[in-house]
Amino acid sequence: MKENKQITNIFLSGVGGQGAILASNILAEVFIGAGYDVKKAEVHGMAQRGGDVTTHFRYGERVYSPLIKQGSVDFLLAFELLEAIRYINWVKPDGKILINNQKIFPPAVNLGTAQYPDDIVGTFKSYFKDNVYVVDGGEIAKKVGNIQAANVVLVGAFSNFLPEISDEQFVKAIKSLLAPKLHDLNEKAFYEGKKAI
Amino acid sequence: MEREEIVLGNGAIAMGLVESGCRILTSYPGTPSSEILPEVVRRVKAEGLNTYIEWSTNEKVALDNAFAAAVAGKRSACCMKQVGLNVAADSLMSAAYIGNIGGLLIISCDDPGPHSSQTEQDTRFMARLAKVPVLDPADPQEAREMVKFGMDLSEEFQIPVVLRPAIRVCHARQNISPGPIKISEQKASFEKNPSRWAATPKFRLKLHGELNLKLKQIGERFSSARQFNFHNLEQGSHYTLGIVAGGVPSAVIRDILAEEGRDDIPLLKIGTPFPFPDALADEFASACDKLLVIEETDALIEYLLRDRNKVMGRLTGHVPEQGELVPEVIYGIMRRVLKDLGLKPFLKKEDRDVKELVNGLGLPVRRPSLCPGCPHRASFYAIRKASPKAIFTSDIGCYTLGLNLGGVDTCLDMGAAITMASGFYHAFSQDEKKQPIVATIGDSTFFHSGTAGLLNAVYNNARFVLVILDNEITAMTGMQPTPGIGIRADGTEARPISLERVTKGCGVDFVEVVDPYDLKGMNDTLKKAFAYTEAEDGGIAVIIARHPCVINNRENAIPERIRVRVTDDCTSCSFCLERFECPALYYDDDLGRVNVNRAICADCGLCIQVCPQNAIVEVKEL
């Protein structure tokens, strides 16, 4: 058996309602299908009423805990800009970052009592250089036919980081989790996302 | 082998319950336990099993019911969140003495953090207090195995068994293969035996002695329960440091030790912390100079280890006494202990630069809010408008978020909106001071713990306005039915309980039902209610603010979509942002006024009634 050292850590962050949990379930199907041990941790309850939502996702030969340590994230998949920068210190120095180019203002910003941070992508690039990728998930999803599919667009873009997994494996996982009437739309969303970076 | 599934921890617990032959399941929803019961319903339906499942009105009711079924010989289980076990404590303490016939498993889910609870209390201590065995799983798969083990143990020793999964077990997911289902054919029977089932104090002393004997035997059994309690000592080796851990932290530590390649630090993992597996712990302790104990949330194992001089943990200041033991915290604890003991440090260095960067950015927090279109927002807006100087006692549920609108001043426990309202009333009226008080409580919370407090308040002549926020569902925990709506846990029809009749039955003469979407009607009713609380022949006024939850029942919550826009009449007074606090309204820097976020607007149209400048208007076409 391989050592635990080879655990890969994926951290998903966003705002309640953006579909981050479905995205992590797609990843789970994919990696279980590929024969890995998978553990993930989600946030439910109070945090879902418009709060920030995070999912820890880990796969490897043998994973004991679902929790990722700060500073050891291999891939950050952020569904919103502020929720990306909030976790910048979770990413390891050579980690890769995929950000959905969307701003959802928290209440304090709505009220005008707090500032939404400037140039989040620039801050990421100053630390992580070429490992920072930005995708307009919402725009692409709209073009495909439904803004709700933005999460699957992001999964498509994210799949570029995982060359060991085939597109077919992703599409199969997406279909296994969605109602048949949504299959075509989301398959398209996946491939459009894949082309986006 | 059947295909592996990615299963939520609570789903794995449900799987274990079905596989263990559980025939009766009762529960009251509460994060992080809420998904267990619906998952059992799903699996029972899929397998065509004859299992009785109920959402009970509260946790004590749930445990009493499950206990009776276990006394009748059925394998039974009862699940709740950790603070729910406080409500069921009366039942638990007594049930421990009396014992059961069929297995009785109590699942109480802890919330270190806390993420979604009032306290970080440790269920293992409740089990210790009640003198019943407690099992502490490290991950979903172990939780499922412990369900089956616990059910068998409970039946063998005729003692209730507690399973304590923490939130990171309940809401973790992992791949699991389904196993065989035990079909229990046990028929209900009851053998009269008053000295046990209705024991008087004299017999209770005897039962206590029997309980102590059971615990002694179970403790010995636990020392050999190597599937849950194990260590990796090399025979004959001696170690400077050993780690003793249970639950989720034990899994984190196994990952850290493997990642750092630390064969010089053995781990004793304890899955059955009470009764404590003394023999196994002694064996481990004798091979180590020092023992670092890492457990959630309190210090139970640490107290139970016999050689106190070796132990490092919460009592010695090595482990934080509050908060979740997430990997970076455990890393920090271990780093410090390695240094103190002069052991080889970890390979991984701390990455300080970026950490300081995040602290320096002053990022705005994203506090949770009531959803766009939520009827509670309308209620709180109206309540605050009708009586800005009132004390607002409130309760546990989505509507605690009414604090964002300045409509919630207190939140203590389930039902305390009513009991604290009467407490405040008596405190102020003693000084002959007129203090308006408005209590807000949800429908499910009212059914859970409202009536006893309301009866008490009526009986003792308290005066306040009670608004029951009836959104016809238990929303915060994930849309479980309430006794008010006529649906049972398995989707079958129930006899609906009328809030009007219950409150009138509690002796309240002023009971009015109003739709909070009608802000004017709500305001008028509140004024009438305040007048009633001050009238000579008045009393407690109950308003049932009834409107369906916008998430659970959008069709009926917003039958006609009212699309709104903000006109240039907006003066940026911020009234709507501060007092109505709808997430769909925001200050638009570019326009220099308030704007509507179409992506999240629910089209409820309520904000039209709120704007003092009449600058929010309905648009027929966008």
Contacts of A142 (CB under 8 A, 6+ apart): none
Residue B410 and residue B501 in one domain = yes
Cα–Cα distance for residue pair B375/B467, rounded to 1 Å: 13
Task: Note whether B301 and B404 are same-domain residues.
Answer: no
Cβ of residue A71 closer than 8 Å to a chain B Cβ: yes
Task: Give yes or no: residues B215 and B237 share one domain.
Answer: no
> Is residue B439 domain-resident?
yes
Chain-chain contact of A39 with B586 (C-beta, under 8 angstroms):
no
Q: How far apart are CA B372 and CA B388, in angstroms?
A: 23
Report whether B62 contacts B113 (CB < 8 A). Answer: no
| Residues in chain B closer than 8 A to A43 (CB atoms) | 115, 171
B383 in the same domain as B469: yes
Of the three residues B508, B525, B550, the one that is the final residue of a domain is B550
- In angstroms, how far is CA B344 from the centroid of its own chain? 41
CATH of the domain at B240: 3.40.50.920
- Enumerate residue ranges in chain B where pLDDT < 50: 1
Question: How many angstroms away from the CA of B479 is the closest CA of chain A?
Answer: 11
Give the DSSP H/E element, type plus range, for residue B500.
Answer: helix B499-505
Integer-rounded Cα radius of gyration of chain A: 16
For residue B254, list chain A residues with Cβ-Cβ distance below 8 A.
64-65
User: Does the residue A1 lie in any domain?
Assistant: no
CB B550 within 8 A of CB B557: yes
Q: Which of B192, B224, B256 is the last residue before a domain boundary?
A: B224
Closest CA relative to residue A68, chosen from B561, B331, B328, B244? B328
Instruction: Please state, in angstroms and rounded to a whole number, the distance separating the CA atoms of residues B112 and B427.
Output: 35
Is the Cβ pair A89, B168 closer than 8 Å?
no
**B399 lies in a domain?**
yes
Amino acid found at A36: Y
- Kindly report the CATH number assigned to the domain that includes residue A191: 3.40.920.10
Domain that holds residue A110: 8-195
Amino acid at A71: G
Q: Does A147 touch chain B (CB under 8 A)?
A: yes
- Residue B54 belongs to what H/E stretch? strand B52-55
Residue B260 resides in a domain: yes
Is A3 within a domain?
A: no
**Has residue B368 been placed in a domain?**
no
CATH of the domain at B507: 3.40.50.970
Whether chain B has a CB inside 8 Å of the CB on A34: the answer is no
Q: Terminus-to-terminus CA distance in chain B, angstroms?
A: 56
Best of B6, B170, B329, B578 to disrupt the A interface by mutation (most A CBs within 10 Å)? Answer: B6
What are phi and psi for residue B550, nearest 5 degrees?
A: -75, -20
**pLDDT on residue B368:** 85
What confidence score (pLDDT) does residue A116 get?
Answer: 92
Whether chain B has a CB inside 8 Å of the CB on A185: the answer is no
Q: What local confidence, expressed as pLDDT, does residue A2 receive?
A: 39
Same domain, B156 and B102: yes
B106 and B247 housed in the same domain: no
pLDDT of residue B247: 97
ipTM: 0.91
List all residues 6 or more positions away from B471 whose beta carbon is below 8 Å from its beta carbon. Answer: B375, B376, B398, B442, B443, B547, B548, B549, B552
A187 touches chain B (CB under 8 A): no
Residues B459 and B506 sit within 8 Å (Cβ to Cβ): no
Q: Which of B172, B328, B401 sits opposite A66 (nearest CB)?
A: B172
Q: Could you tell me if B136 and B17 lie in one domain? A: yes
Looking at the complex, does the CB of residue A52 fall below 8 Å from at least one CB of chain B? Answer: yes
* A112 in any annotated domain: yes
Domain count, chain A: 1
Of B560, B474, B482, B552, the closest CA to residue B517 belongs to B560
Which residues in chain B are contacts of A42 at CB distance < 8 A?
171-173
**Is A47's Cβ below 8 Å from some Cβ in B?**
yes
Q: Which two tokens stand for residue B305?
A: 């280890």
Q: Do A28 and B6 touch (CB under 8 A)?
A: yes
DSSP string across B450-468: HHHHHHHHHHTT---EEEE
Structural domain includes residue B94:
yes
- What are the backbone dihedrals phi and psi of residue B557, each rounded to the nearest 5 degrees, phi first? -70, -40
Domain assignment present for residue B360? The answer is no
Most distant pair of Cα atoms in chain A: their distance: 55
Q: How far is B431 from chain A (nearest CA, A)?
A: 39
CA-to-CA dists, residue A112 to A106, A108, B308, B608, angstroms: 10, 6, 55, 21
CA distance linking residue B251 with residue B29, whole number of Å: 27
Contacts of A47 in chain B (CB under 8 A): 115-116, 368
Is B369 inside any structural domain?
no
Edge-to-edge strands, sheet with B311-312: B230-231, B267-269, B239-245, B288-294, B311-312
Q: Is residue B364 part of a domain?
A: no
pLDDT in tens, B132-162: 999 999 999 999 999 999 999 999 999 999 9
Partner B contacted by A125 (CB < 8 A): no
Element housing B134 (H / E): strand B134-135
Using the Cα atoms of residue B335, residue B341, residue B345 and residue B351 in order, give the sign of their dihedral: positive
Chain B residues near residue A110 by CB distance under 8 angstroms: 577, 583, 585-587
- Give the integer Cα–Cα distance in Å for B457 and B420: 10
By CA distance, what is B356's nearest residue in A? A89
- Spatial neighbors of B183 by CB under 8 A, at least 6 apart, are B21, B49
Q: Are residues B307 and B456 in the same domain?
A: no
CA-based nearest residue to B147, from B11, B240, B246, B46: B11
Using CA atoms, how far residue B176 sits from A165, B46, B63, B255, in Å, is 21, 18, 29, 19
A125, part of any domain = yes
Whose tokens are 């007129």? That residue is: B434
The answer, for A4 touching chain B at a CB cutoff of 8 Å, is: yes
Backbone angles phi, psi at B580, to 5 degrees: -100, -30
Does residue A163 fall inside a structural domain?
A: yes
Instruction: Please indicate, yes or no, whether residues B570 and B525 belong to a single structural domain of this protein.
Output: no
Taking an 8 Å cut-off on Cβ atoms, the answer to whether A110 and B585 are in contact is yes
- C-alpha distances (whole Å) from A11 to each of A29, A90, B268, B479, B496 are 16, 8, 30, 28, 44
Give the position of tokens 């707090």.
A114
Catalogue the long-range contacts made by B407-414 (C-beta closer than 8 Å, 24 or more residues apart): B407/B379, B407/B380, B407/B381, B407/B383, B407/B440, B408/B380, B408/B440, B411/B118, B412/B118, B413/B83, B413/B86, B413/B118, B413/B449, B414/B58, B414/B83, B414/B87, B414/B445, B414/B448, B414/B449
Please tell me whether residue A2 adopts helix, strand or coil conformation: coil
Which of B496, B524, B550 corresponds to the end of one domain? B550
Q: Which of residues 14-33 of A touch B (CB under 8 A)?
A: 15-17, 25, 28-29, 32
Inspect the interface and report whether the beta carbons of B259 and A5 lie closer than 8 Å.
yes
Provide the strand spans (E) within B209-352.
Answer: 230-231, 239-245, 267-269, 288-294, 311-312
Total of domains in chain B: 4
| A179 burial via Cβ count (<10 Å: 0-12, 13-18, 19+) | exposed
- Host domain of residue B541: 375-550
**Residue A174's Cα: distance from chain center in Å?**
14
Q: Which among A3, A49, A91 has CB closest to B370?
A: A49
Other CB atoms within 10 A of residue B365 CB: 11
- Can you say whether the dihedral through the CA atoms of A80, A82, A83, A85 is positive or negative? positive
Using an 8 Å CB-CB cutoff, list chain B residues near A29.
Answer: 6
Q: Is residue A54 part of a domain?
A: yes
* The pLDDT of residue B1: 43
Nearest residue of B to residue A112 by CA position? B587
Q: What is the DSSP letter of B310?
A: G
- Which of A69, A107, A111 comes nearest B574 by C-beta? A111
CA dihedral of B455, B461, B462, B468, whole degrees rounded to 10 = 40
Interface size, chain A vs chain B, as Cβ–Cβ contacts under 8 Å? 179
Q: In which residue ranges of chain A is pLDDT below 70?
A: 1-5, 44-49
Q: What are phi and psi of B319, to 5 degrees?
A: -125, 135
Give the Cα separation of B63 and B109 in Å (integer): 15
| Minimum CA–CA partner of B258 in chain A | A4
Specify the DSSP class assigned to residue B474. B
Q: Are the C-beta atoms of residues B242 and B291 closer than 8 Å to each other?
A: yes
**pLDDT per residue as tens digits for the range B521-537:** 999 999 999 999 999 99
A80 touches chain B (CB under 8 A): no
Take residue A59 and report the two structure tokens written for it: 């796969």
Instruction: Tell me if B328 and A85 make a contact (CB, 8 A cut-off).
Output: no
Q: Is residue A2 part of a domain?
A: no
Structure tokens at A37: 């041990």
Q: Are residues B176 and B97 in the same domain?
A: yes
Nearest CA to CA, how far is B122 from chain A (Å)?
20
Domain match, B440 and B546 both? yes
Contact (CB<8Å) A38/B258? no
Residues B520 and B401 in one domain: yes
Residue A190 domain-assigned (yes or no): yes
Decide: residue B468, CB within 10 A, 0-12 exposed, 13-18 middle, 19+ buried. buried
